[in-house]
């Protein structure tokens, strides 16, 4: 019988809670936190009931399969002490209210950063319920650390909390005793396959169905205050910075936007993964053109931009990381406004019409019309994309400010008519 992962010593105390247990959290925040053995995590997931069961059987341990061009290696990560399904509300409330817990990290999706309907069970409502329990328990201050691809994620989360935490005394406590950090996070984590699980077994002799695949590269910038302390994330390379804004825009406009452009245009050209699309000379040129456009709005030294672009190029074309375009293409209605439209608006204000953005948006419309769409607004946007003037109908639905830009909308519609020959 193949042995499973077990702890050789007592786990660290639970001092952090995580909402959104998944591959990215395990490859990123859990990996960084493992550098400080004084901190343990209680992690919760809404989407997956099997993963908490698997991790519980392994004492919270999991294998991180780090893949690069030369070799694969496996690290065992032990910072997750407990894993729970989202339905375990009683334990969630107890953990957030615990005086031993000093911070909550969050990895959800762009779509989750909205005010929930009354009575809805969402990430924000779950977070508010936990904070309310902590407030009534008279617990100490706490820091929230959102780790998602949302511009100004700390400020956005703070704004949402103000809207859902409105009882006067509770709202005052949230305002003064709940700190919210801003972050930029980066590490590619493609979906784990059966082949990856077999590779972990070959390299370690252990069967780990909860294994995570990732690249060697990892980045984390953090700006904020931690009144009850935090793990020494710097030991694994995290950076504590004073201003997070430029790092956010660099990642959203260069990495994430390029991913979205590659996803939609790559699917049109028959590619399935990022490395295939990035290796396509036509799409490689498209991304270089986009980077030229977006970089002009980043207040960073040219050498730093050049170095960042080089790293992205290497990461995108790495053959060992099978990052599916279909995975990246999901939730475009939330991703495109943060990744592509801010640069496009700046270009339009200067009278310019960047072909890279036009081609990417046309390919997104094609995706909406022709494919199995995964998007919170899929029913609405698919219907609009199949009308006579899809650019105007769809783009105005996600950004009303584009409604009067006839030149842009006409260019996207014209590109869409040619997109299959792109």
DSSP 236-296: GT-EE-S--HHHHHHIIIIIIHHHHHHHHHHHHTT--BHHHHHTSHHHHHHHHHHHHHHHT
Is 420 a residue whose pLDDT tops 80?
Answer: no
Per the structure, the complete domain to which residue 162 belongs is given by 14-240
Q: What is the DSSP secondary-structure string of 135-201? A: HHTTPPPEEEEE-SS-TTHHHHHHHHHHHH--SHHHHHHHHHHEEE-EEEEE---PPP-HHHHHHHH
Query: Containing H/E element for 341?
Result: helix 341-349
Task: Say if residue 261 is in the same domain as residue 397.
Answer: yes
Is 147 a residue whose pLDDT tops 90?
Answer: yes
Domain boundary (214, 240, 266) is at: 240
Task: Say if residue 213 is in the same domain as residue 253.
Answer: no
Query: Containing H/E element for 219?
Result: strand 219-223
Task: Say if residue 254 is in the same domain as residue 159.
Answer: no
Average pLDDT over residues 293-300: 95
Task: Say if residue 279 is in the same domain as residue 353.
Answer: yes
Q: Is residue 313 part of a domain?
A: yes
Average pLDDT over residues 7-15: 94
Domain boundary (207, 240, 273) is at: 240
Task: Say if residue 236 is in the same domain as residue 250.
Answer: no
CA 134 to mean position of chain CA atoms: 27
Q: Could you report the per-residue pLDDT of 25-72, keeping only the tens digit for each?
A: 999 999 999 999 999 999 999 877 899 999 999 999 999 999 987 789
Cβ burial of 117 (10 Å; 0-12, 13-18, 19+) is exposed
Task: Say if residue 171 is in the same domain as residue 293.
Answer: no
Residue 134, token pair as written in the block: 């902590």
Task: Say if residue 172 is in the same domain as residue 292.
Answer: no
Q: Is residue 170 part of a domain?
A: yes
Is 421 a residue whose pLDDT tops 70?
Answer: no
Q: Is residue 1 part of a domain?
A: no
3-state secondary structure of 362: helix
Task: Say if residue 40 is in the same domain as residue 137.
Answer: yes
Task: Say if residue 172 is in the same domain as residue 306.
Answer: no
Is 11 a residue whose pLDDT tops 70?
Answer: yes
Is 116 a residue whose pLDDT tops 80?
Answer: no
Q: Could you report the per-residue pLDDT of 203-229, keeping only the tens digit for each?
A: 999 999 999 999 999 999 999 999 999
- Alpha-carbon distance 19 to 144, whole Å? 10
**Listed residue (105, 144, 90, 128) closest to 25, CA to CA:** 105
Task: Say if residue 299 is in the same domain as residue 164.
Answer: no
Q: Is residue 5 part of a domain?
A: no
Is 289 a residue whose pLDDT tops 90?
Answer: yes
Q: Is residue 6 part of a domain?
A: no
Domain boundary (240, 266, 299) is at: 240
Cβ burial of 114 (10 Å; 0-12, 13-18, 19+) is middle
Q: How confident is the model at residue 139 (pLDDT cuts 50, 70, 90)?
A: confident
Q: Is residue 41 part of a domain?
A: yes
Q: Is residue 176 part of a domain?
A: yes
Q: What CATH number is given to the structural domain containing 335?
A: 1.10.1040.10
More confident residue, 191 or 284: 284
Which pairing describes strands 40-45 and 80-85: parallel, antiparallel, or unpaired? parallel
Task: Say if residue 227 is in the same domain as residue 256.
Answer: no
Residues 6+ apart with CB under 8 A from 310: none
Task: Say if residue 236 is in the same domain as residue 261.
Answer: no
**Cβ 277 vs Cβ 286: under 8 Å:** no
Is 403 a residue whose pLDDT tops 70?
Answer: yes
Q: Which residue has the tokens 């801003």?
A: 182
- Overall domain count for the chain: 2
- Quote the mean pLDDT of the chain: 94
CA 81 to mean position of chain CA atoms: 23
Which pairing describes strands 103-106 and 142-146: parallel, antiparallel, or unpaired? parallel
Q: Is residue 18 part of a domain?
A: yes
Is 321 a residue whose pLDDT tops 90?
Answer: no
Q: What CATH number is given to the structural domain containing 180?
A: 3.40.50.720
pLDDT, position 207: 95
Average pLDDT over residues 114-133: 86
Average pLDDT over residues 348-370: 97
């Amino acid at each position: 019988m193949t042995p499973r992962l077990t702890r050789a010593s007592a786990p660290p105390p639970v001092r952090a809670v995580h909402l959104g247990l998944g591959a990215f959290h395990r490859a990123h925040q859990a990996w960084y936190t493992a550098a400080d053995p004084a901190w343990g995590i209680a992690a919760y997931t809404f989407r997956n009931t099997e993963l908490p069961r698997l991790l519980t059987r392994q004492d919270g341990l999991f294998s991180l399969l780090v893949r690069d061009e030369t070799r694969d290696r496996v690290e065992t990560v032990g910072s997750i002490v407990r894993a729970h399904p989202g339905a375990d509300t009683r334990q969630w409330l107890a953990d957030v209210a615990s005086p031993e817990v000093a911070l909550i990290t969050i990895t959800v999706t762009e779509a989750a950063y909205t005010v929930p309907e009354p009575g809805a069970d969402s990430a924000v409502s779950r977070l508010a319920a936990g904070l309310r329990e902590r407030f009534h328990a008279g617990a100490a201050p706490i820091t929230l650390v959102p780790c998602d691809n949302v511009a100004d994620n700390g400020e956005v989360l703070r704004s949402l909390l103000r809207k859902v935490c409105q009882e006067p005394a509770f709202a005052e406590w949230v305002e003064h005793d709940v700190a919210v950090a801003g972050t930029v996070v980066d590490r590619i984590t493609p979906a784990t396959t059966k082949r990856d699980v077999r590779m972990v077994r070959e390299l370690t002799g252990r069967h780990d169905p909860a294994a995570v695949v990732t690249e060697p590269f990892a980045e984390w910038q953090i700006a904020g205050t931690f009144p009850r302390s935090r793990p020494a994330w710097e030991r694994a390379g995290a950076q504590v910075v004073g201003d997070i804004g430029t790092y956010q825009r660099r990642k959203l406009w260069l990495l994430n936007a390029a991913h979205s452009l590659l996803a939609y245009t790559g699917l049109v050209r028959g590619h399935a993964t990022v490395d295939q699309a990035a290796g396509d000379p036509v799409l490689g040129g498209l991304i270089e053109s986009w980077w030229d456009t977006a970089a002009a709005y980043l207040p960073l030294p040219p050498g730093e931009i050049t170095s960042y672009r080089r790293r992205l190029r290497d990461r995108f074309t790495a053959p060992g990381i099978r990052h599916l375009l279909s995975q990246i293409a999901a939730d475009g209605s939330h991703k495109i406004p943060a990744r592509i439209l801010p640069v496009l608006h700046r270009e339009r204000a200067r009278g310019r019409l960047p072909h890279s953005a036009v081609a990417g948006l046309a390919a997104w419309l094609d995706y909406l019309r022709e494919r199995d769409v995964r998007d919170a607004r899929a029913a609405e946007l698919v219907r609009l994309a199949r009308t006579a003037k899809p650019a105007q109908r769809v783009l105005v639905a996600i950004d009303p400010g584009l409604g009067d830009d006839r030149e842009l909308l006409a260019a996207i519609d014209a590109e869409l008519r040619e997109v299959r020959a792109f």
